[in-house]
Structure 1
Amino acid sequence: MTGSIDRFDEVVDEAWGRAFRGRPLADRVFYLASELGDFSVLWLIIAAAQGLRSDADADESIRLSLLLLAESILVNQGIKRLVRRPRPAATEPRPHHVRQPGTSSFPSGHASSALAAAGIMSHRHPRAAPLYYGLAAVVATSRIHVKVHHASDVVVGAAIGIGFARLAARVWPPPGER
């Protein structure tokens, strides 16, 4: 099974590299997305901005922040400590700065938090779902682009994030649905 996963990772990385790496616009977009995904900064900024609109939106922003904290603890302090997968080796120089994580590669915390945030925010604002999921896809795939995650790390991280958002909607529904 590991051989199949490794092969999947190699095929995706090679295809991604041919299609996107080394292209100035793609490099800027994906490196920026990777930076904004650090510590869920992008999602917390969006939540804070939305929280300024009303008391209900402020409550939802606090809920999102607390749920992302719980998701981060689950992924970064739980799963990553159990799996301890090495990160991909960056063989060529990077065109932009990227923070080098000190944790295991599996699963991608950026992908998990991005898809969790998109799912949680889309539940409350369904018309904005394409925007949230589009941003989440860019943040998640940025980790492949900057070569700090294998593609399978990102796929599993995304699945965890989607599952977390669905669970959150049942366990701690948004204001007005309780």
Structure 2
Amino acid sequence: MGRTQSFWTARTTAVVGQLHLVGDRDFSLMSFDTVGDRICEPLRNHKISNTLFGVASTVGDFSIIWHVIGFLYAIGSMHRLQQAVALSIALGCESIIVNQGVKRLFRRERPTTSGDDRFDLRTPSTSSFPSGHASSATVAAIILVTFTGMPWAILWVAIAIIVAMSRVVVRIHHMSDIVGGVITGAVLGAIIAPIISSIIG
């Protein structure tokens, strides 16, 4: 009887300890997201940054900005046109994997349903984690850097950062969603970019 009681006491203590750890992780995540939201608040109140991030969020929908960049880059060259088509196909694959796959595993609620009232935004239909804007921006930047190298790489990375961060500024995503999106996009980009290079050259 004593051994049985000791066993269940030990098991209960272990479970309670695990619950505390989960609670600590959740609290840390909330703190991280709260800090991220506070950092972005001045950007919402400044006219120029408000416009910049609002536009960046909108043109990031459906990876529009990346498709446009790809085909503008392709002007005057059949080889670059092939690269632009490959970029669009890659972004389509990324969208399916993230929006119809990864997001369904987490089903995280967004910080707001339709974004901050200071912005005019499309209401997203998918869950919050990871950020599709951040994921697609990372994939696109990796592929474009592979195509162009320096100094264009600086521009692609800068645009990707603005598009990704815009989703926190407009309050459609938590900061941790952006981190998750960047990591997801980096993994996908690292897989896709070499495949494109091996096919197109």
TM-based fold match above 0.5: yes
* Aligned-partner SS, 1:173: helix
Q: Counterpart in 2 of 1:29?
A: 52
Q: Counterpart in 2 of 1:109?
A: 132
Bigger Rg, structure 1 or 2: 2
Query: Is 2:157 aligned against 1:133?
Result: yes
Q: Percent identity?
A: 38
Q: Could you tell me which of 182, 188, 192 is aligned with 1:164?
A: 188
Q: Could you tell me how far apart the structure 2 residues matched to 1:171 and 1:58 are?
A: 17
TM-score by length of 2: 0.83
Offset of 1:124 from its aligned partner? 1.0
The structure with the greater share of residues assigned to helix is: 2
Give the stretch that moved more between structures: 86-95 or 8-17.
86-95
Q: Counterpart in 1 of 2:37?
A: 13
TM-score by length of 1: 0.93
Q: Counterpart in 1 of 2:21?
A: none
Q: Could you tell me how far apart the structure 2 residues matched to 1:92 and 1:122 are?
A: 31
C-alpha spacing 1:44/1:92, structure 2 compared with 1 (3 Å): closer
RMSD: 1.7
Q: Could you tell me which of 117, 136, 145 is aligned with 1:122?
A: 145
Query: Is 2:170 aligned against 1:146?
Result: yes
Give the stretch that moved more between structures: 166-175 or 79-88.
166-175
Q: Could you tell me how far apart the structure 1 residues matched to 2:170 and 2:112 are?
A: 11
Residue correspondences, number:
176
* Dislocated runs of 4+, deviation >6 Å: none
Offset of 1:15 from its aligned partner? 1.9
Offset of 1:175 from its aligned partner? 5.4
Q: Which runs of 5+ in 1 are unaligned?
A: none
* Aligned-partner SS, 1:166: helix
